[in-house]
């Protein structure tokens, strides 16, 4: 008889041989159809997903805000505060804040004389040119209390008629027209003190429009001016509060606007002139490309595509032509267009003849959504953060507020 240790050793060997044989048998087992399906190339192919159905673009009226007087100018700051000026009425300036109840009377302020186009120059800070008083008044929106209030925070007297206000290089810049003292058409003041620190002559020419751009990562301020005789002008470039400005003469056409179609930063500022379809490269004054017509309205989307319109009722979507030629992508006739503005892939078109605000496809300018008003619309601003549109209805003395989606 074998000892117990020997029997235990033999039993362990038998068990090991059984497990080894079982493993060999499992490796030789024919796969089942279910096993084949798991590794089949057909089974590994991705299943086509159902396309996500997006709702169509929409415009939804939210409210009408009443104002006492014919509405004139409108501006919006980066916080979504909207300021509107009126031609007459007991109150000359109205403000709508994004958090307020749109069905309540908006906060208002009386000013001296006619209030021109307001300009947002900071977070909650607006500049209001008063042409008849030759003054620029600064108003801040105070939202620290339960009900927002308007506070006067200072004013600047100008020798000429104030036209436009812009912030650049930490200063507030003013262009002024008519009755210029010493031919000074451009001023800059310190916001904290109101002290005038820069005074630049415009050689007897009338300022047209100021623009601020980043050119090769450097902030620059451009001012176009026109000769009283017509047909010519200059473009002034300011690169800093202490830097001497440069000026370029434009002899073929009146300079209208310096702009970029590349977004906020560009290496190639462009010049648009009145009554001419040719866009110039500002650095060389050579033709950059041609437009289908001479525009009076322009909107850019920051991606090399923009829209233009003219008083004859033509509307076009345009891309920059690399060879200097015309690069019209879509063109149509629509009289009465008074404002155009891109929002991502869509274009807002405000029409005073049809009394409509429409949301258009960028590709072919097809209407995706439209709202009709009882009265003639005037001007509009867009709050992209909250997807709202504010527009003036001058005859109805109302501010229309709409939401949009796409």
41-55, 168-182, 202-216, 231-245, range with the lowest pLDDT: 41-55
pLDDT, greater one: 83 or 43: 83
Tens digit of each residue's pLDDT (9 = 90 or more) over 162-197 = 999 999 999 999 999 876 666 789 999 998 888 889
- Tell me which residue of 304, 214, 311, 229 sits closest to 267, measured CA to CA: 214
Q: Model confidence at 140, in pLDDT bands (50, 70, 90)?
A: very high
- pLDDT score of 159: 84
Residue 89 in this model has a pLDDT that exceeds 80: no
Task: Give the per-residue pLDDT at 266.
Answer: 79
Helix (H) or strand (E) holding 42: helix 41-44
Long-range CB pairs of 85-94, under 8 A, 24+ apart, other chains included: 85/115, 85/116, 85/117, 85/118, 85/128, 86/115, 86/397, 87/114, 89/397, 91/67, 93/118, 93/128, 93/139, 93/150, 94/65, 94/67, 94/399
| Mean of all residue pLDDT scores within the chain | 84
Write out the H or E segment, with its range, that includes residue 197.
strand 196-201
Cα Rg, the chain, nearest whole Å: 33
Measure CA 84 to chain center: 18
**Predicted confidence (pLDDT) per residue in 337-356, tens digit:** 999 999 987 899 999 999 99
Closest CA to 123 of 86, 105, 97: 97
Strand 398-405 and strand 206-215: pairing?
unpaired
Contacting residues for 53 by C-beta, under 8 A, at least 6 apart: none
* Rounded distance between C-alpha atoms, residue 210 and residue 222, angstroms: 6
């Amino acid at each position: 008889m074998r000892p117990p240790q020997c029997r235990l050793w033999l039993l362990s060997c038998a068990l090991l041989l059984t497990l080894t044989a079982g493993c060999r048998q499992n490796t030789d087992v024919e796969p089942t159809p279910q096993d084949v399906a798991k590794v089949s190339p057909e089974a590994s192919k991705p299943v086509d997903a159902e396309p996500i159905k997006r709702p169509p673009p929409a415009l939804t009226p939210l409210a009408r805000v009443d104002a006492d007087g014919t509405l004139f100018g409108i501006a919006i700051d980066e916080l979504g505060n909207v300021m509107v000026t009126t031609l007459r009425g007991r109150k000359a300036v109205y403000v709508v804040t994004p958090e307020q109840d749109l069905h309540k009377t908006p906060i208002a302020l009386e000013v001296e004389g006619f209030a021109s186009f307001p300009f947002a120059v900071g977070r909650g800070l607006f500049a209001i040119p008063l042409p008849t008083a030759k003054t620029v008044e600064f108003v801040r929106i105070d939202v620290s209390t339960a009900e927002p209030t308007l506070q006067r925070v200072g004013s600047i007297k100008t020798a000429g008629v104030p036209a436009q206000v812009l912030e650049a290089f930490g200063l507030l810049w003013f262009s002024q027209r008519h009755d210029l003292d010493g031919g000074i058409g451009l001023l800059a003041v310190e916001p904290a003190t109101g002290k005038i620190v820069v005074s630049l002559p415009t050689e007897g020419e009338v300022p047209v429009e100021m623009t601020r751009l980043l050119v090769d990562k450097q902030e620059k301020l451009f001012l176009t001016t026109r000769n009283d005789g017509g047909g010519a002008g200059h473009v002034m470039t300011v690169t800093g509060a202490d830097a001497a400005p440069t000026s370029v003469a434009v002899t073929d056409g009146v300079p209208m606007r310096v702009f970029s179609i590349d977004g906020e930063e560009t290496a190639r500022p462009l010049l648009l002139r009145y009554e001419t379809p040719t866009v110039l490269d500002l650095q060389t004054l050579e033709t950059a490309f041609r437009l289908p017509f001479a525009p009076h309205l322009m909107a850019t989307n920051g991606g090399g595509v923009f829209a233009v319109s003219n008083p004859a009722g033509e509307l076009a979507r345009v891309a920059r032509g690399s060879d200097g030629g015309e690069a019209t992508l879509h063109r149509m006739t629509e009289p009465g267009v008074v404002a155009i503005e891109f929002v991502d892939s869509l274009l807002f078109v405000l029409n005073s003849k049809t009394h409509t605000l429409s949301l258009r496809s960028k590709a072919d300018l097809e209407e995706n959504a439209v709202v009709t008003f009882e009265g003639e619309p005037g001007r509009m601003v867009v709050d992209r953060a909250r997807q709202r549109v504010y527009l003036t209805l001058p005859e109805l003395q109302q501010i229309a507020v709409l939401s949009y989606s796409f």
